[in-house]
Amino acid sequence: MEVISLLKLMKMELKKFPVSGYTRGALIAMAAILLFMILLFWTSILEGENILYTQVDCVDMVNILVNDVFLIFAAVMFSNYVIGEYSSGTINILFTYPISRKKIIWSKILLVCSFMVITMIVANVFILTSMHIINNYTNTIPVTTDAGLLSTTALKIITNSIAFSLISTLCLYFGMLKKSKVATIVSSVIIVSIVGSTSNGFSLSSIIFIPLTIAFVGVSLIFFTFRKIEVLDVK
């Protein structure tokens, strides 16, 4: 008996729910974040009062915005890839295939999470590079390009992207409780407002330990949710 690979299953998911729409959405989100940052720059110049004092402030700001926006984005993807199959009833077809149900579900989760990690890294790099180029002309922020700072920034971006894509599984968990798309997306907004918001330059997500913990909780809950999927009734 031929065993269908996880990779093949992910490809099938892409065929059912083309990722092109999400890519377009991601590009728009990136552009929006960049525009927002440019406006911050601009106000800084006009008012003569810097909101973003340092390079690190700027990186943090972009990082937070990307995390927040793309967490909601991931929730939207989950609501289509996973919850959508339940709400439209196609799960009844999907689970009559000679394939392990766990494998099908995990291929979906893996697909969404890896798409999000890549997108978030690309978004950070794209926005920061664009701002760097703009800053070269405007000289709003003093820039240092020492290797140490670059590597910590890179590390920060990567860990945050992984953490926040995994946090999105928590949204999936809430969505799965009632098989509701709305619950999935609303939970992401709530998580963003708690974890991602800043007050006086401090945000819960700035301590990387916190998002990583939430991500761990999310993944554990999802394991728990789908632990018995093979033996439970499909509803």
Partner 1 sequence: MNIIRTNRLGKVLNKAEVVSDVNMCIKKGEIYGFLGPNGAGKTTIFKMILNLLKPTSGEIVVFDEVIRQNSYEYLKRIGSLIEYPMFYDDLTAVENLEIHCEYMGYYKKNAIEETLRLVNLVGVNNKKVKEFSLGMKQRLGIARALITKPEILVLDEPINGLDPLGIVEVRQLLKMLSRDYGMTILISSHIISEIELIADRIGVINKGKLVKEFTVEQAKIDHAGYIEVKLKDIDKGSRILDTLVKSRNFKVISDQQIKIYDTEVSVGDITKAFVTNNIEILSITQIDNTLEEYFINLVDGGDIIA
Footprint of partner 1 (CB under 8 A) = 1-2, 4, 12, 15-17, 88-90, 92-101, 230-234
**Which residue, 133 or 228, is less far from partner 1 as judged by CB?**
228
Least CB distance to partner 1 at residue 204 (A) = 38
**Which residue, 89 or 201, is less far from partner 1 as judged by CB?**
89
Please work out, in degrees rounded to the nearest 5, the angle formed at the alpha carbon of residue 187 by the alpha carbons of 87 and 228.
55
**Which residue, 43 or 100, is less far from partner 1 as judged by CB?**
100
Q: State which amino acid sits at residue 193.
A: S
Chain-centroid distance of CA 162 in Å reads 8
Burial 166-204 (b: 16+ CB within 10 A, else e): bbbbbbbbbbbeebbbebbbbbbeebbeebbeeeeeebe
Chain-centroid distance of CA 44 in Å reads 29
**Which residue, 9 or 171, is less far from partner 1 as judged by CB?**
9
Least CB distance to partner 1 at residue 101 (A) = 7
What is the rounded CA–CA span in Å between residue 83 and residue 225? 13
Least CB distance to partner 1 at residue 105 (A) = 13
Residue 210 Rama label (left phi>0; alpha psi -120 to 50; beta): alpha
Least CB distance to partner 1 at residue 15 (A) = 6
Least CB distance to partner 1 at residue 183 (A) = 22
**Which residue, 36 or 95, is less far from partner 1 as judged by CB?**
95
**Residue 222 and residue 109 in contact, taking contact as beta carbons nearer than 8 Å:** yes
